[in-house]
């Protein structure tokens, strides 16, 4: 079994990960001091992080530098090259993931945004989706799931309901050959 | 407490209720003979059903006539008038719901589609959302939640995970006055 590519992300019930201006204030309604929604445990299982450039800029805007100093961090950008601290710019998410999956290692964490998710979904590269559904209708903004011309069947692995109202859904993505029974 | 307006509907994880041609075959993957996902119990709690015209036509296409013979059934259409069996055409979902909520009765069940949901959400008329998430990425089609210019906060009431992988989420919609603590 090669290392899994995992999408771990939060969205509103109506499917948005941020407002159009990248504002993610709606996430604060489920921020509770002693509750990390399994994030620390999840981070133990991965050694590589992939961000889109826009998501990365949002992370940098928090002013604490590049997180995940103990991991390989890749930022997908059509134009930027080089590094920011330990984060490395990379032009193509699909090539990157295919290359990473040839190597030994822990699982790979994709944290968005929507453009990178779109490219990876379209190429059927995700092995697992861990989606935290925020009890909120954001109305508009950036959709996690853009329109795609393929369908993919999922297998529910876990569903965890938290006191804040956040529901975390774990799905394995069924690959074509698994669906054929092999 | 006046009668509640409840949205009870299924969507794929990526937020679609049907393909663009109204095909809903993806729902068959969670159809299991002995499992109704609480639907019969839910029907006990309501006495009125609201459909959009397009959803209604889909229901009629199954060839079994108009369901819910023991309930008031309204079909929202800008152009059609009169009745089909016990179903009554009605031009405006918002006016209809406001009028129904002035009367005594059990809760009101909105079964979609997306146009009617949009009108009712925009006017903040829903009291409860019961959303069954199907373990599937449909890719494209008709989105349950169109873009809206308002936000609404939700309170998770229940989360039920079924062996088929369907997860049913129950939310109460927080009304403005409740959010202000009154």
pLDDT surpasses 60 at B181: no
**Tens digits of residue pLDDT in B117-130:** 999 999 999 999 99
Residue B143's alpha-carbon distances to A13, A85, A91, B76, in angstroms, are 12, 40, 31, 18
Of A4, A176, A15, which is closest to residue A105 (Cα–Cα)?
A4
Separation between Cα atoms, residue B3 and residue B106, nearest integer Å: 6
Separation between Cα atoms, residue A44 and residue A110, nearest integer Å: 14
Q: What is the pLDDT of residue B133?
A: 98
Q: What is the pLDDT of residue A50?
A: 98
CA-based nearest residue in chain A for residue B14: A145
pLDDT surpasses 60 at B178: no
The nearest CA of chain A is from the CA of B81 a distance in Å of 32
Task: Name the pLDDT band for B177 (thresholds 50, 70, 90).
Answer: low
- Residue with tokens 């826009």, as numbered in its chain: A54
pLDDT: is B175 or B167 the higher one? B167
Please tell me whether residue A174 adopts helix, strand or coil conformation. coil
Separation between Cα atoms, residue B51 and residue B120, nearest integer Å: 12
Q: Is B146 exposed, middle or buried (0-12, 13-18, 19+ CB in 10 A)?
A: middle
Structure tokens at A37: 């929604």
Contact B145 A15 (CB under 8 A): yes
Q: What is the pLDDT of residue A177?
A: 58
Number of Cβ atoms within 10 Å of the Cβ of B85: 11
pTM for this model (two decimals): 0.95
The answer to whether residues B84 and B75 touch, using CB atoms and an 8 Å cutoff, is yes
Q: What is the pLDDT of residue A178?
A: 57
Class of the domain covering B5-18+36-179 = alpha beta
The nearest CA of chain B is from the CA of A101 a distance in Å of 23
Structure tokens at A98: 């295919």
Mean pLDDT across chain B: 95
Beta bridge partner(s), residue B92: none
> Within the 120-159 window of chain B, which residues sit less than 8 Å (CB to CB) from chain A?
121, 129, 131, 133, 135-140, 143-145, 147-156, 159
ipTM of the complex as predicted: 0.95
Q: Which fold has domain A10-23+36-164?
A: Dihydrofolate Reductase, subunit A (3.40.430)
pLDDT in tens, chain A (182 residues): 689 999 999 999 999 999 999 999 999 999 999 999 999 999 999 999 999 999 999 999 999 999 999 999 999 999 999 999 999 999 999 999 999 999 999 999 999 999 999 999 999 999 999 999 999 999 999 999 999 999 999 999 999 999 999 999 999 999 765 554 44
Query: Which chain B residues are Cβ-neighbours of A150 within 8 angstroms?
Result: 139
Task: Name the pLDDT band for B2 (thresholds 50, 70, 90).
Answer: confident
The answer to whether residues B157 and B35 touch, using CB atoms and an 8 Å cutoff, is no
Beta bridge partner(s), residue B90: B76
Q: Where are the beta strands (DSSP E) in chain B?
A: 5-12, 16-18, 46-52, 72-76, 83-84, 87-90, 107-110, 128-134, 136-137, 142-143, 152-161, 167-173
Q: What are the residues whose beta carbons fall under 8 Å from the beta carbon of B116, sequence distance 6 or more?
A: B50, B51, B52, B55, B76, B93, B110
Q: What is the pLDDT of residue B38?
A: 97
């Amino acid at each position: 079994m090669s290392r899994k590519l995992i999408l771990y992300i939060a969205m509103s019930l109506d499917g948005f990960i941020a407002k159009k201006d990248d504002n993610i204030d709606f996430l604060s309604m489920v921020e509770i001091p002693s509750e990390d929604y399994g994030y620390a445990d999840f981070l133990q299982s991965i050694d590589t992080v992939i961000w889109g450039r826009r998501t990365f800029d949002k992370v940098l805007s928090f002013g604490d530098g590049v997180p995940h100093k103990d991991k390989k961090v890749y930022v997908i950008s059509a134009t930027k090259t080089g590094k920011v601290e330990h984060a490395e710019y990379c032009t193509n998410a699909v090539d990157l993931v295919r290359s990473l999956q040839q190597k030994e290692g822990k699982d790979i964490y994709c944290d968005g945004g929507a453009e990178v998710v779109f490219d990876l979904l379209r190429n059927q590269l995700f092995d697992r989706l861990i989606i935290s559904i925020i009890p909120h209708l954001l109305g508009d903004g950036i959709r996690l799931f853009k329109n795609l011309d393929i369908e993919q069947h999922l297998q529910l692995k876990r569903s965890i309901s938290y006191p804040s109202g956040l529901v975390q859904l774990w799905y394995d993505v069924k690959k074509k050959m698994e669906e054929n029974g092999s």
